[in-house]
Amino acid sequence: MLQDDGSTMDVLEEKQVQCPYCGEPIDILIDCSIPQQNYIEDCQVCCRPINVDVVVTHDGVLTVAVTDENE
């Protein structure tokens, strides 16, 4: 993807997060072309549902927060 300053930004970015249930680190793939996202992804280790909140700022800063389904 081409940014305003002419540089490119990867559309997909892999991010490591910690499962809120089992505490294991897991890798998730983020689509950076969508500035704000909220979805559920199952933990690759314990298979429990994780709420994933993603924000990509205008300057491409990626913030990912994960919580369990009860938070």
Asked if 15 and 62 count as a contact pair (C-beta separation under 8 A), the reply is yes
Q: What's the pLDDT at 7?
A: 45
Write out the chain's pLDDT in tens, 71 residues. Answer: 444 554 445 689 999 999 999 999 999 999 999 999 999 999 999 999 999 999 999 888 999 999 998 87
| Residue 5, both tokens | 């300053």
- Residue ranges per structural domain of the chain: 12-68
Rounded distance, CA 46 to CA 6, Å? 42
Q: What's the pLDDT at 70?
A: 85
What's the 3-state SS for 17-64?
A: EECCCCCCEEEEEEECCCCEEEEEEECCCCCCEEEEEEEECCCCCEEE
| Residue 15, both tokens | 């991010």
Q: What's the pLDDT at 4?
A: 52
Q: What's the pLDDT at 71?
A: 77
